[in-house]
Amino acid sequence: MTGARAPGWVAVAGLGPGNAALVTPEVAAALAQASDVVGYAPYVARVPLRAGLARHPSDNRVELDRAALALDLAAAGRRVVVVSSGDPGVFAMASALFEAAEGRAMLPDIRILPGITAMLAAAARAGAPLGHDFCAINLSDNLKPMAVIEHRIRHAAQGGFAMAFYNPRSAARPHQFARVLDLLREECEPARLLVFARAVTTPDERLLTVTLAEAEPQMADMRTVVIVGNEATRRVGRWVYTPRGAAR
């Protein structure tokens, strides 16, 4: 093997919710070793420029193209970090990488490096609203029909789960989240607590706790995670938490 090219690799890394103090040392080390950073442009922009580092920013909604690029670069011997916000395994690039890997005869060395996902950063800022059994649901209907989303929300509510909604509302689907609130009102009591957590740990952070009766669609946007408590979720001081025991 003398003189052989060093093998390439791909690490899919979670940058956390925004604050550099929430980037794990493992992810920082991978970025320090990388020859290439691949990802959605706003996340690539969070990686500082340095000599020897090529940055490959791309648009939203091209996850499979981005994943294929990362695999191709690694196959050519490059050291590639695919960056995701939050955790790469939660509604982010890790699944896309494996989808792109299907059918390839050879895979490079792959590592998935976890990060602080948005719902857990949001929960920490609010208190402990996910302190008992909970569900994470992506409200984007890009990749699944609205009927599936509604079906899941009903089962989550009837099962007594707290819920965290990712991508609750976008310019392309302004009315969908109003429908989600209507559905929650069919399944849950008006006093149920909701936390709208926007851009947590960044300078744009905004936290709003309301009851389901008070909730309005425009309280959410694409940078918001919405947490719906279970029926036992309560306030203490400025905090919101869900007790560890079952509601009944």
118-147: contacts with a copy of itself (CB under 8 A)? 120-121, 123-125, 127-138, 143-145
H or E element at residue 233: none
User: Which one of 47-55, 68-76, 210-218, 238-246 is the stretch in contact with a copy of itself (CB under 8 A)?
Assistant: 238-246
Alpha helices in 15-145 (DSSP H): 25-33, 41-44, 63-75, 93-101, 118-126
Binding mask 48-87 for a copy of itself (x = CB under 8 A): ---------------x-----------------------x
**Quick one: 21 or 51, whose CB is closer to a copy of itself?**
21
Half-sphere exposure of 129 (CA within 13 A, CB side): 35
Q: Are strands 224-228 and 193-198 parallel, antiparallel or unpaired?
A: antiparallel
CB 154 within 8 A of CB 182: no
From candidates 35, 95, 170, 176, binder to a copy of itself by CB under 8 A: 95
The verdict on 154 binding a copy of itself (CB under 8 A) reads yes
**Quick one: 3 or 186, whose CB is closer to a copy of itself?**
186
**Quick one: 130 or 228, whose CB is closer to a copy of itself?**
130
The closest alpha carbon to 137, from 121, 123, 153, belongs to 153
CB of 88 to a copy of itself, least distance (A): 7
Site for a copy of itself in 16-35 (CB under 8 A): 16, 19-26, 29
The closest alpha carbon to 56, from 93, 98, 91, belongs to 93
**Quick one: 206 or 216, whose CB is closer to a copy of itself?**
206
Question: 177-207: buried (b, 16+ CB within 10 Å) or exposed (e) per residue?
Answer: bebbbeebeeebeeebbbbbbbbbbeeebee
Site for a copy of itself in 177-216 (CB under 8 A): none
Instruction: Kindly determine how many residues on this chain lie close enough to bind a copy of itself according to the rule CB under 8 A.
Output: 73
The verdict on 117 binding a copy of itself (CB under 8 A) reads yes
**Quick one: 69 or 94, whose CB is closer to a copy of itself?**
94
The verdict on 151 binding a copy of itself (CB under 8 A) reads yes
Q: Is 218 helix (H, G, I), strand (E, B) or coil?
A: helix
CB of 13 to a copy of itself, least distance (A): 10
Q: Is 30 helix (H, G, I), strand (E, B) or coil?
A: helix
Report how far residue 127's alpha carbon sits from residue 104's, in angstroms, rounded to the nearest whole number.
45
